[in-house]
Chain A
Amino acid sequence: MSHAFDLTLLLLLTASALAAIRTKDLLGAVVIFSTYSLLLCLIWQHRGAPDVAMTEAAVGAGVTTVLFLVAIGKTVRRER
């Protein structure tokens, strides 16, 4: 059961990474990337690493995403 759960998460993680790099809309890519960070966070929480999970949620999914959003706001939204 637990192994199946882990595997599903890993598959979702890979899928979201692929989706993030395939999306042409940068804003969409950043949002998918923050989903990716949150999935990673779930995996770590599940594996008994709550400290890392919490940091990833606050910093990886939170601060990083905000910084990306600011940068996209200051530049362009679509990739050519």
Chain B
Amino acid sequence: MKRALTAALLVLLALPLLYAVAQLPPHGSASSPPYTHVSPRYLERGPVEAGAENVVTDVILNYRGFDTNGEVTVIFTALAAVLAVLLGVRKDAGPVAGEPRAMSPVSPVVSFVVRLLAPFVALFAIYVILNGHVSPGGGFQGGAIIGALVIVTTVIVGRSQAEALVPARARRLLQAAAPLTFVCIGIAGLLMFGDYLAFPRVADLAWLRTAWLIAIEMGIGVGGAAIIATIFWTMGDE
């Protein structure tokens, strides 16, 4: 009954939505406002004035860099939120005490394949991060791949060994790496060129601009990977 009612209501909701979206500028047309207003400048001048051949990268790191600054802050918020929700409660509290499940040993085949592939996956992730300004991809995509790699490897080699490599303080710094890189570059832009997150525009400084783009991509990659791995561990530990 409740389901039928909801379905009926949603159909009623869908009708005005469909009516309205049907009147949007036609899909795929090159004369609609999104194509004639702001984006032509990005497409024509992006690679020259913003510094990356991939115009999407120009938009996310340069023209609308502050959005991405906010975006990496959102992931950092997610990390702080997950830790604030999951940390620091005794394991045996509550009716469903965390029955310690016997960890089934990882199959040797899987272990072998992971060890074999890990260097190549890492290489691919670094390629994705460093090439974000000329091809699809970039910091966050590469970071997700590294994060996945870290997760898989720690499942194989055991987490305590992996954690021993990076002390707690350094881990916390790595987790904040993405927004911190943004803030550093933003302030450098403010000091050198007068605006927060301003990139050099003169041709002489093109090398500096590329360096900054790559620095940001690397910051996002490292920070994203650290956060994804930490969230996974914390959720798995609970």
A 57-80 contacts with B by CB, 8 A: 58-59, 62-63, 66-67, 70-71, 74
Q: When the two chains form their complex, are residues B228 and A63 in contact, meaning their CB atoms are under 8 A apart?
A: yes
B151 closest partner in A (C-beta) = A66
A25 in contact (CB, < 8 A): no
User: A66-B232, A67-B232, A70-B236 in contact; A51/B147 too (CB < 8 A)?
Assistant: no
B148 in contact (CB, < 8 A): yes
Report Cα–Cα, A53/B137, bound state, in Å: 9
Report Cα–Cα, A17/B151, bound state, in Å: 28
How many chain A residues touch B (CB < 8 A): the figure is: 14
When distances are taken between beta carbons in the complex, the residues of chain A under 8 Å from B56 are 51
Cross-chain contact of B144 among A50, A59, A74 (Cβ < 8 A): A59
Question: Binding site of B, secondary structure by majority: helix, strand, loop or mixed?
Answer: helix
User: A62-B144, A62-B148, A74-B238 in contact; A67/B231 too (CB < 8 A)?
Assistant: yes
Residues of B that sit less than 8 Å from A by CB: 54, 56-57, 128, 136-138, 140-141, 144-145, 147-148, 151, 228, 231-232, 235-236, 238
User: A51-B138, A55-B140 in contact; A63/B235 too (CB < 8 A)?
Assistant: no
Rounded to whole Å, the gap between the CB of B73 and the closest CB of chain A is 17
A54 in contact (CB, < 8 A): yes
B137 closest partner in A (C-beta) = A54
Q: When the two chains form their complex, are residues B141 and A55 in contact, meaning their CB atoms are under 8 A apart?
A: yes
A66 closest partner in B (C-beta) = B232
Report Cα–Cα, A63/B145, bound state, in Å: 9
Cross-chain contact of B232 among A50, A58, A70 (Cβ < 8 A): A70
